[in-house]
């Protein structure tokens, strides 16, 4: 059965970057649900791998949301990130703080990359959007770690210690992760987008 939404919802989706007809809303909802589930599985599997520095996870759960950001628009990617992290709350070990930080960082990358690619739908536009998106994610990661994650894990540590940990350990890791995720997006987007059509 089709899902019919009021006109203001369609306007919100359009201006949020999702150019879609009412007849395609079911496809959109299904796509977000499937990609969020895949992202969640990737997040869980990534959590089982050895962690860099004892706490940094090299997982690629941001790949499905980024692909949807390119295909439908930035809002699709942000919604996928939101659902992924809501699912992860059921197995959280951080009381939800890690999920909030994850959403802030990766939702930012999806939003920025999706907005740019929406305007420049070429290979160069994809490279530019992922590059700027990575920078935005890195900046969001600095804020999320300084003011969300580390205050939880290191509540008594002086701010300068937290700052040094972020700038000299977490920052390089996030840059590397953003580059790898961007390269995988460039390699896989065209192939996976054909499956969505």
More confident residue, 20 or 1: 20
pLDDT score at 175: 94
Domain annotation covers residue 1 = no
The token pair that represents 24 in the structure block = 């395609």
Report pLDDT for 148. 85
pLDDT above 50 for 20: no
Q: What is the mean pLDDT of the chain?
A: 85
Q: What is the CATH number of the domain that holds 161?
A: 1.10.1760.20
Q: Does 94 fall in a domain? A: yes
Cα angle for residues 57, 60, 191 (degrees, 5° grid): 170
Is residue 63 in a domain? yes
Cα torsion for 90, 9, 109, 42, to the nearest 10°?
Answer: 30
Task: Report yes or no: 117 and 125 within 8 Å, Cβ to Cβ.
Answer: yes
Instruction: Provide the domain count of the chain.
Output: 1
pTM: 0.82
Query: Is 34 a member of any domain?
Result: yes
**Per-residue model confidence (pLDDT) at position 16:** 47
Q: Structural domain of residue 142, as residue ranges?
A: 7-196
Higher per-residue pLDDT: 88 or 54: 88
Nearest to 114 by CA among 162, 77, 83: 77
Residue 34: count other Cβ atoms within 10 Å of its Cβ: 15
Q: Is the pLDDT of residue 22 over 60?
A: no
Q: Is residue 129 part of a domain?
A: yes
Q: Look at residue 2 and tell me if it is in a domain.
A: no
């Amino acid at each position: 059965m089709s899902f019919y939404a009021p006109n203001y919802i369609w306007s919100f989706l359009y201006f949020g970057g999702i150019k879609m007809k009412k007849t395609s809303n079911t496809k959109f909802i299904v796509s977000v649900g499937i990609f969020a589930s895949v992202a969640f599985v990737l997040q869980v599997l990534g959590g089982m791998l050895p962690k860099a520095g004892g706490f940094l996870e090299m997982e690629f759960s941001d790949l499905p949301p980024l692909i949807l950001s390119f295909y439908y628009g930035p809002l699709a990617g942000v919604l996928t990130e939101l659902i992924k992290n809501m699912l992860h709350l059921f197995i959280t070990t951080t009381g939800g703080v890690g999920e909030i930080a994850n959403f802030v960082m990766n939702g930012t990358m999806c939003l920025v990359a999706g907005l740019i690619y929406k305007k420049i739908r070429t290979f160069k536009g994809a490279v530019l959007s992922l590059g700027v998106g990575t920078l935005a994610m890195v900046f969001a990661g600095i804020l999320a770690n300084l003011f969300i994650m580390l205050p939880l894990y290191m509540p008594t540590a002086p701010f300068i210690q937290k700052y040094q940990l972020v700038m000299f350990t977490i920052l390089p890791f996030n840059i590397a992760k953003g580059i790898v995720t961007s390269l995988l997006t460039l390699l896989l987007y065209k192939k996976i987008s054909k499956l969505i059509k």
